[in-house]
Amino acid sequence: MRIALLMAGSLLATACGGQQNGSDADTARADEGTGIAQPDAGTDAGGAFAIGAPSAQDFAQRAALSDIFEIESSKIALKKVKSGSVRDFAQMMITDHTKSSEDLKQAIAASGQTLAMPAKLDATRQTQLEVLNRLNGQEFESEYLNQQKLAHQQALELLKSYAGGGDVAEVRQFAQATIPAVQKHHDWLETNAPGTSPMRATPEATGGRPGAAGSAAPAP
């Protein structure tokens, strides 16, 4: 009787083990089915894991819109700000994002892909430009920096995502090559426009000249 009980217990343990192994396998297959890269799949150029990289078409559309917005908003800044670090930053935005816009077009051409590019800004970014056009002085500078801070956070996320797992090699290389410039813009804003939020005018954040080593915002 005792032997029969032991045998039954052994069979039950084996069955449970088989069910557990099957569950693990199902989970692994479910992870594969999501299309989301797992941590051991590698890292992107910025050191972050590539999770849910967009398609080449989606990336190109969003990257192009980002460049258009940076250029157009900074043109407004050059009209409204006559001197200082904010004007210098706006000029850098026009120069750098004009270059990245051309680099993106060249990358797409080199890839042989046919990707649709936006002809104009989307409604959200157009509204942001309208807000900038209505403001002047410190309110303008604050709102401009607020918008730039949000835009560069989003641009970095987009670039790093595609750089780590993009499906078109030439476009992926463009994303990897563009990250350092956008990171420089982002870092300048973090230093010179701290504690800001988009679409809300706040006291002006001034500081070192954009792109200058060691620039920092003065103490209030």
Domain membership flag for residue 218: no
Looking at residues 78-89, what average pLDDT do you find? 95
Which structure tokens are listed for 78? 């050059």
Question: What are the tens digits of pLDDT across the range 189-209?
Answer: 999 887 655 444 333 333 344
Q: Is residue 114 part of a domain?
A: yes
Is 153 among the domain residues? yes
Q: What is the CATH number of the domain that holds 95?
A: 1.20.1260.10
Q: Structure pTM?
A: 0.67
Q: How far apart are CA 101 and CA 106, in angstroms?
A: 9
pLDDT of residue 193: 83
Q: Backbone phi, then psi, for 212, in 5-degree steps?
A: -80, 135
Structure tokens at 220: 């209030």
Question: Considering the domain boundaries, does residue 214 fall inside one?
Answer: no
Query: Among 80, 198, 210, 207, which Cα is nearest to 140's?
Result: 80
Q: Across the strands, what pairs with 43? A: 49
Please, which contacts does 147-150 make with residues 24 or more away whose CB atoms are closer than 8 Å?
Answer: 147/73, 147/198, 147/199, 148/70, 148/73, 148/89, 148/93, 148/185, 148/189, 148/193, 149/186, 149/189, 149/190, 149/193, 149/196, 149/198, 150/198
Residue 16 has pLDDT above 70, yes or no: no
**Does a structural domain hold residue 200?**
no
Whether 33 shows a pLDDT value over 80: the answer reads no
Number of domains in the chain: 1
Pairwise CA distance, residues 161 & 172, whole Å: 9
- What is the domain range of residue 179? 63-192
* Of 159, 147, 157, 148, nearest in space to 185 by CA: 148
**Percent of the chain's residues with pLDDT above 90:** 62
Quick one: angle between helices 137-165 and 56-80, nearest 10? 160
Asked if residue 37 belongs to a domain, the reply is no
Average pLDDT over residues 151-156: 96
Is 120 a member of any domain?
Answer: yes
Residue 22 forms part of a structural domain: no
User: Which pair of structure tokens corresponds to residue 214?
Assistant: 């060691």
